[in-house]
A and B are shown apart, each in its own frame.
Chain A
Amino acid sequence: MDCSFIKKNLFAILENTLSADDRSETELHLKSCSECNHLLSGFLETMSVIDTDKSKEINPFMSTRIIQRIDSVVSSHVDKKQKEFLRLLQPIVFTFTLFLAVLIGFSLGKTGMNSISGKKSDVQGLQSLRSELFISDITDEDKTLFLNP
């Protein structure tokens, strides 16, 4: 066995997945090769950082920070939605008011026309009455003229 086998099987040694023969040969080689010994110990120590990291505890107050951040974001979302709703509502209300105003204008106009046409008929009636009266006036006048010379 040479040093290249160790270099190529560092993970297999770490995970203990070498065959029994390879394992015994590796052990023999490591006893005689200081370079491979250093290499393997360096590798194993470096990989032990993973276990140190795994046992690392997280900040116990982190959940409070997270909840606060979520609350602020959620409330800002709600505000945003409300603002968006108002922004959308504004033109709708404006259009509706305008439409209502036009509608009221039309209905008022219609009532006005009706009343004018009603008034017109009244005037016509009066005129015909007056003309009748006028005719009878004339006849009356004529009669008086005729009766009183």
Chain B
Amino acid sequence: MTDHELIEGLITNDRTAIHTLVDKYQKKIIKTAYYFLQNMEDAEDLSQDIFIDIIDSSQRFRKASTLSTWIYRITVNKSLNLIKKNKRNKIFHSLEDFFTPKPDNNDPTHREPTVTTSPFEENERREILNKAIQSLPENQKIAFILSKYEELSYKEIAEIMNISLSSVESLLHRAKLNLQKRLATHFSEYIKK
């Protein structure tokens, strides 16, 4: 089934077209969402919304870009929106925690979570990298994830982000500089300790 036939099928809610869409793009959508969100459950939940969005807006698909580029664009936008929403919720919860009384530390049933001291635990490395990536400006973050995780070409990234090739190059260069600066600071501080 070609992209054109797929889109035509999606417009009419054709079941074969919907199944083809899910089979063809679910891995790509879930993985891209995961690279942005760094949480598989969130990525899986979001992927359902993304598919519904694709079907709902299939009439608005302009044939100027490929279906894959269009799907990437929706996935990236939805993922970034969820990150923003989660951030807002986090702020709200931290405010809520601030105003609610803290549990009594003398309580024998209360246990502090154990913190691993090794800097090279995979989860900790993931957290360090994720923090560094999330601290990047939005455009640099998108360019970096699409390039390093998705291994897309500069041309594909330019199409998804709707920018020129030179802008992609510049964004990636700045993203790498920022990342290595943040990671170097993190590891230097650790070495000094």
Contact A39 to B191, CB < 8 A, known contacts A10-B183, A45-B120, A62-B44:
yes
Residues in B22-71 with C-beta less than 8 Å from chain A? 22-23, 26-27, 30-31, 34-35, 40, 44, 47-48, 51-52, 55
B47 touching A66 by the CB < 8 A rule?
yes
Q: Which of A35, A43, A53, A69 contacts B149 (CB 8 A)?
A: A53
Q: Which residue of A lies closest to B41 (CB)?
A: A59
Are B13 and A66 in contact, CB atoms less than 8 angstroms apart? Answer: no
A47-B129 in contact (CB<8A): yes
Query: Does B137 lie at the interface of the complex (its beta carbon under 8 Å from any beta carbon of A)?
Result: no
Are the CB atoms of A10 and B184 closer together than 8 Å?
A: yes
Interface size class of B (residues with CB under 8 A): 35 or more
Q: Which residues of chain B come closer than 8 Å to A50, judged between CB atoms?
A: 129, 148-149
- From B51, B119, B126, B148, give the contact of A42 (CB < 8 A): B119
* A110 contacts B by Cβ under 8 Å: no
| Cα(A38)–Cα(B149), bound, Å | 25
Whether A1 sits at the interface, judged by CB under 8 Å, is no
A87 at the interface (CB under 8 A from B): no
The verdict on A73 contacting chain B, using a C-beta distance below 8 Å, is yes
Q: A147 interface residue, CB < 8 Å from B? A: no
Q: Are B120 and A49 touching (Cβ within 8 A)? A: no
CA distance A10 to B178 in the complex (A): 11
**Bound Cα distance from A37 to B95, whole angstroms:** 42
Chain B residues lying within 8 Å of A70, measured Cβ to Cβ, are 18, 22, 48, 51-52, 55
- Least Cβ distance of B11 to chain A in Å? 12
Knowing A43-B180, A45-B125, A56-B34 touch, does A38 contact B187 (C-beta < 8 A)?
A: yes
The 8 Å CB contact of B180, one of A7, A52, A69, A73, is: A7
- 8 A-B pairs with CB atoms under 8 Å apart are A11-B180, A43-B187, A45-B125, A46-B129, A52-B122, A58-B26, A58-B44, A66-B48
| Chain B residues within CB distance 8 Å of chain A | 13, 18-19, 22-23, 26-27, 30-31, 34-35, 40, 44, 47-48, 51-52, 55, 119-120, 122, 125-126, 128-129, 148-149, 176, 179-181, 183-184, 186-188, 190-191
